[in-house]
Structure 1
Amino acid sequence: MANLVNLESVSKSYGERALLDGVSLGVADGDRIGVVGLNGGGKTTLLEVLSGLAAPDSGRVSRARDLRVRVVTQRTNLPPASTVREAVLADYAAEHEWAADARVRSVMDGLGISAIGLETPTATLSGGERRRVALAAALVAELDLVVLDEPTNHLDVEGVRWLADHLLGRKIALVVVTHDRWFLDAVCSRTWEVTGGRVEQYEGGYADWVFARAERARLAAVAEEKRRNLARKELAWLQRGAKARTSKPRYRVEAAEALISDVPAPRDSAELLSFAKRRLGKTVLELEDVTLTAGERVLADHVTWRIGPGERIGIVGVNGSGKTTLLRLLAGEVTPSTGRRVEGKTVRLAHLRQELEDLPGQLRVLQAVESVAGRVTLGKQELSASQLSERLGFPPARQWTPVADLSGGERRRLQLVRLLMSEPNVLLLDEPTNDLDIDTLQQLEDLLDSWAGTLVVVSHDRYLVERVCDTVVALFGDGALTHLPGGIDEYLTRRARAQREGGQSGRAAPSPASSGSSGPPSSASATRAKSDAAQWRAAAKELARLERKLDTLHAKESRLHDALASAATDPDRLMELNTELKALLAEKEDLEQRWLQTSEAME
């Protein structure tokens, strides 16, 4: 494959801090590279040097001749005094030119540009709309390489999936910084980790990177243990004189199993639920026959919703469907048009808003956290203010930074730390992943795993929702709140079906499972919906059965390998075990194929 961009011994510093230190790497035609690393670690700087927006302090950047590249960073500006049409479709002289291009139409629909309005002045757009317009302006062009910095911010779950499908369907190279782990896994074939001025390169997406990083840590631990063992042996030799060497023990390690063999389940749901009931009682938050409006739009139409102790709920829906307003209703910050909100007497509620709250700028980070509390108990963990701050991205040295000097992302993290320090038993989170890097996200998820309380999350990060929530509900724009047994996959399937049946309006027909729907569906649509739900449940049941069977075969395979190792000196036993292993592997391959077919049928 032809090289598009090469960096040779590139260094770039800001002040005394070296963000890139002698970095050499390249982007080839067709590469899809995800860039990860801590906030402030140099990811955006790498993108700007790579794309020519910033010059390196030293080293060389070479690009292919006539390289067609577009860049969308967090600092991208739209043309001043322009309309959306002028910003996105500047290369098209007439409307029929772009309207006849399927790729351009797909971008306009997928990013919601038509809904914003082509004649809308860009100066009047919100921050999220400006980012979508800038992204659309890049994707409508014929490209060899596109460079994107946090493109999934301000996209809903459906928009993130559309962007992934779009990039996979185009034969262009991609370099993308994102904290959206589902997106990294779905799109990227390589991963760059920016750390300590270097760029570590890995094959595969997020899951492969996590495994490789864990494997690297394991090997480092093994090397350290070997060094210690050698030192102990040397000391023993000096004390007692040389001894006869003993044979080394034989190790056989299945790499993936060794990494996760002693890791407990993410959370004990039964234990957390029991504890939550003792803390919260029976009543937590309830909406009774609630109608909720925003201007002339009806977001919820006579909805009744009871949230119990220990429930962990994710809310999904298209941008503008009312997710944030619903969360504010649960928090008691808005009043419904009809109906009422009920809050349990023992509820201590905390609400993480998308907007940055006023923080005490005269204090330092640790002082701002300790002003809420000195220690906090999260599940079985008791943490000091400093320990919780460190887990959420404030190392000890950074904890003495004045709050007034923090970046927007750091202020967001501080807002989250202070929220958790208040020890709420009901937590409402509105887009908590915004401005958090992957390491901090992992720490947040680990904290939420052991947190015993009621949790309601609005997020476009499907990895987070699937990781920390047990239940998913959706706002489809029909005034109802719809429970989704199949989670986000079911949401995307319903949205796709609604668009096929009703054009691009995106409004789904009321589901029989929806609470508070304005009226009964037609018998035909009800029958079809029930049939689809029954087929989905049957497929999910079959999938679970196959997974249990595969787990059993995997354990049996492991025992056979151990038996083969033990029978190394017995040829007859070896042949018998080998025949048994071949039969097992054939059965396992058949089951894996059936699992794959069943999984695809559920999409």
Structure 2
Amino acid sequence: MANLIATDRARLIAGTQVLLDDVSLGVLDGERIGVLGRNGGGKTSLLAALLGTRELDAGRVLRPAGVTSGMLAQADILDPDATVREVVLGDLAEHEWAGDPRVREILTGLLGDLGASALGGLDSPVGAKSGGELRRLTLAALLVSDPDLLLLDEPTNHLDVEGVAWLAAYLSQRRPRPGSGLIFVTHDRWFLDAVATRTWEVSDGQVHSYDGGYGAYVLARAERSRVAAVTEERRNNLLRKELAWLQRGAPARTSKPRFRIDAAEALVANEPPPRDSVELVRFATTRLGKDVFDLVDATVQLGNKVLLDDVTWRIGPGDRFGIVGVNGAGKSTLFRALMGQIPLQSGTLKTGKTVRLACLSQDLRELEAVTGRTVIDAITEVRSFTILGGKEISASQLATRLGFTGGRQQSRVGDLSGGERRRLQFLRLLMDEPNVLMLDEPTNDLDIDTLTSMEDVLDGWAGTLLVVSHDRYLLERMTDRQVALLGDGALRDLPGGVDQYLQLRRAMAAPGGSGPARSRGAGSPSAAASNAAAPSAADPKAAGPSAAELREARKTVARVEKSLARLGEREARVHEEMAAQATDAGAMTRLSGQLAEIHDEREALELEWLEAAELVD
């Protein structure tokens, strides 16, 4: 396989920091390479050097003749007077792009129907578009031009869950052709797993290469740490927890990563679940009482648009909800309604008397008041000690866990990068000891190591957590349940997680599709079972299931829940036996087979439960 591009002993320096130190690497025909690393570690500089827009301080970049390349930068800078047609299609005549299935698919996937109706039409000006719309336009233009080597810097920024899913499918399944390759920087772990055939980690001037996506990357790092025994204990524990999570798979996933390597099985055999949900709920109930938020028959309207229409959502102590939805569906507005910042047109909001609320917004202006202070002073200004995981922890210890190590705690807030400011913002919120935490797009500006640390901290945090994000991995890892705003004013519970949300959106977009069933409640323990479709008088089939069908569905739900409980007990016994026989290769092979059968059986039961739950009123 030929190299599309390569570096020979590349050296790159920014100020006093060595970003690349004698690095030699290459991209083979057909490879899709995901790039990870700390904020400021050199990921974007590496892409710029490969593209040729940044000169190396030493070494060289080898570009074979005839190989074209194009890059998506983090900032979408377009001529505000240009039209959508000019930006995306350039000089292509209408019969050229309209007759090309590849171009039509890109327009449909990123801009809506072929008329780009979602963006006001092909002849609408670019200047009036939002940040998310500009990202889609820039990405569409690059994909239409179809260079041999595609360089993407944080391509999922500003995209919703559907946009991320479409882009992953296009890059991994439909774009690949002979003579093409892809390099992309991302903090979206689901996207990395879905697209990458190889992963590069940029760290301390070096680029470490791993086969596969995020799951393989975590496994390789954890195994390397175990064998070499040189990684600090805290990092090793984080990797063990992350690998154990990948082994189990998120409850809502329909396909779960299964590593069948004896060393990996031995590494995580005795690793407990990421968090003890029962214990955390007990702590949360002590701190919060029985009530958190009761949103009943609520309607919220902004201008002429109804964002929430007669929605009921009950949120209890210790609940962890992820919220997904199309851009403009009202996710941030829902947060503001719960905080009492937006009045309800109708309905009621009851907030528990003991609720102490904190919200991680997308706005960093709240740090302006401490811009001249050091990081540690900005944290201790809020509180010097807090309780996390049932233990007292100092501000300095918590700062260290979130990446502010050593002398970095003495840095001025005004000198911090965007990602570091985001971390500081989160730290100050935690030190204020809230018992209800809202996170609005928490992945913005954060690298994967920081996200992993944030998840680790929140694993031991006892409170109610609400998260708005397009990051599927983060939603499944950090929350226990997901709900969706589908753009029709309804709030829908998602027992099947983000995959179910995407199925519902596809059903809405299908010709003749009338959209999913409307949900009037998403917070009670049986919320998934209460999402029955609203009957339509014009359609006799929409009148709902018969009494006999409802009884049978309820029996099925009860039976499957018992079977799932028994299956969980079986899985626990298998894990215990694995721990006891970790050095017996034959036993590990046999037990791994049993574990695979359990996973397959669980997936079948979950699908059966979902089908029955749809009928239950």
TM-score bin, normalised by smaller chain: 0.7 to 0.9
Q: Distance in 2 between matches of 1:345 and 1:332?
A: 14
Of residues 209, 228, 234, the one that matches 1:220 is 228
Deviation at 1:560, TM superposition (A): 7.9
Structure-1 separation of matches of 2:44 and 2:263: 33
Change over 3 Å in CA distance of 1:528–1:36 after alignment to 2: farther
Distance across 2 between alignment mates of 1:179 and 1:451 = 23
* Inter-partner Cα distance in structure 1 for 2:432 and 2:141: 44
TM-superposed CA distance for 1:543, in Å, is 7.9
Residue by residue over 1:345-394, the C-alpha shift from the partner in whole angstroms, topping out at 9 and shown as x without a partner, is 11110011112233121212221111111111123232222222222222
Change in CA separation of 1:285 and 1:455 when aligned onto 2, cut-off 3 Å: same
Letter in 2 for 1:363: R
Aligned to 2:101: 102
Give the residue type in structure 1 aligned to 2:375: V
Contact 1:302–1:518, Cα closer than 8 Å, also in 2: no
Distance in 1 (CA, whole Å) between partners of 2:476 and 2:80 is 40
Aligned-CA RMSD value: 3.4
CA displacement, residues 224-266 of structure 1 (integer Å, 9 cap, x when unaligned): 99xxxxxxxxxxxxxxxxxxxxxxxxxxx93012211332211
Aligned counterpart in structure 1 of residue 215 of structure 2, from 198, 201, 207:
207
Q: Find the partner of 2:206 among 198, 202, 212.
A: 198
Give the superposition deviation at 1:309.
0.9
Paired with 1:181 and 1:293, the residues of 2 have a C-alpha distance of: 35
How far 1:425 sits from its partner (Å)?
A: 0.2
The aligned amino acid for 2:491 is L
Partner of 1:168: 172
Residue matched to 2:133: 129
Residue equivalent to 1:239: none
Structure 1: which amino acid aligns with 2:107? M
**1:274-423 alignment, distance < 5 Å:** 274-359=282-367, 360-423=370-433
Which residue does the alignment assign to 2:484?
474
Could you say what secondary structure the match of 1:87 adopts? helix
* DSSP 3-state at the match of 1:464: helix
Q: CA deviation at 1:288?
A: 2.2
Equivalence for 1:142? 146
Alignment partner of 1:424 is 2:434: yes
Distance 1:298 1:65, change over 3 A: same
- Letter of the 1:101 counterpart: D
Residue 510 of structure 2 aligns to a residue whose secondary structure is helix
Paired with 1:320 and 1:22, the residues of 2 have a C-alpha distance of 47
Bigger drift between 68-77 and 453-462 goes to 68-77
Q: Distance in 2 between matches of 1:349 and 1:80?
A: 40
What TM-score results when the alignment is normalised by the length of structure 1? 0.84
Q: Secondary structure at the match of 1:264?
A: coil
- Aligned match of 1:520: 535
Conserved? CA contact 1:331–1:428, under 8 Å: no
Q: Secondary structure at the match of 1:23?
A: strand
User: How far off is 1:448 after superposition?
Assistant: 1.0
Q: 2:366 and 2:580 mapped to 1: Cα distance?
A: 59
Would you say 1:188 and 2:196 are equivalent positions?
Answer: yes
Following TM superposition, by how much is the alpha carbon of 1:12 offset from its aligned partner in structure 2, in angstroms?
Answer: 0.6
Deviations 1:404-463 (A, max 9, x none): 222222222211111111110000110011111111111110111111111111011111
Contact 2:262/2:582, CA 8 A, preserved across alignment: no
Aligned length, in residue pairs: 559
Moved more, 522-531 or 475-484: 522-531
Contact 2:266/2:582 (<8 A) preserved: no
SS of 2:123's partner is: coil
Whether the 8 Å CA contact 1:365–1:401 is kept in 2: the answer is yes
Gaps of at least 5 residues in structure 2 are 234-260, 523-529, 612-617
1:288 alignment partner, SS class:
strand
Give the aligned residue type for 2:400: E
Q: Indicate if the aligned counterparts of 1:156 and 1:318 stay in contact, CA closer than 8 A.
A: yes
Give the direction of change, closer, same or farther, for the CA distance of 1:583–1:168 in structure 2 (3 Å limit).
closer
Aligned identity (percent) is 52
- Contact 2:312–2:520 (Cα < 8 Å) also in 1: no
CA distance in 2, matches of 1:493, 1:112: 19
How far apart, in 2, do the equivalents of 1:585 and 1:387 lie?
39
Residues of 2 paired with 1:586 and 1:409: CA distance? 42
Judging changes above 3 Å, is the alpha-carbon distance between structure 1 residues 539 and 53 closer, same or farther for their aligned structure 2 residues? farther
Cα deviation for residue 88 of structure 1 reads: 1.0
Give the TM-score, by structure 2 length: 0.82
Render the CA deviation track for 1:528-568: whole Å, top value 9, x for unaligned: 8999x999999998788777667766776887897x79xxx
Q: Distance in 1 between matches of 2:384 and 2:507?
A: 51
The equivalences for 1:507-546 within 5 A come to: 507-510=515-518, 520-521=535-536, 522-525=539-542, 527=544
Whole-angstrom distance in 1 between the partners of 2:332 and 2:593:
50
Query: Where do 4+ consecutive residues of structure 1 move more than 3 Å?
Result: 222-225, 506-509, 511-523, 525-531, 533-562, 580-603
Q: What letter is aligned with 1:153?
A: N
1:303 touches 1:516 (CA, 8 Å); kept in 2?
Answer: no
SS in 1 for 2:108: helix
Could you list the per-position Cα deviations for residues 87-110 of structure 1 after superposition, in whole angstroms to 9, with x for gaps in the alignment? 11114122x432332222222232
Q: 1:16 to 1:85 in 2, by over 3 A?
A: same
Q: Is the 8 A contact 1:67 1:144 kept in 2?
A: yes
C-alpha offsets along residues 71-98 of structure 1, whole Å, 9 cap, x if unaligned?
102145324632222111114122x432
**Code of the aligned partner of 2:272:** P
**1:126 Cα deviation from its structure 2 partner:** 2.6
- Whole-angstrom CA distance in 1 between matches of 2:588 and 2:266: 21
In structure 2, the residue corresponding to 1:199 is in which secondary structure?
A: strand
Query: Compared with structure 1, are the counterparts of its residues 520 and 214 closer, same or farther at alpha carbon in structure 2 (3 Å cutoff)?
Result: same
Asked whether the equivalents of residues 311 and 520 of structure 2 are also in contact (C-alpha less than 8 Å), the reply is no
SS of the equivalent of 1:332 reads coil
1:582, CA displacement in angstroms? 9.7
Q: Which moved more, 1:178-187 or 1:492-501?
A: 492-501
Q: What secondary structure, in the 3-state scheme, does the structure 2 residue paired with 1:140 have?
A: helix
Q: Conserved in 2, the CA contact under 8 Å of 1:480 and 1:517?
A: no
Q: Secondary structure at the match of 1:53?
A: coil
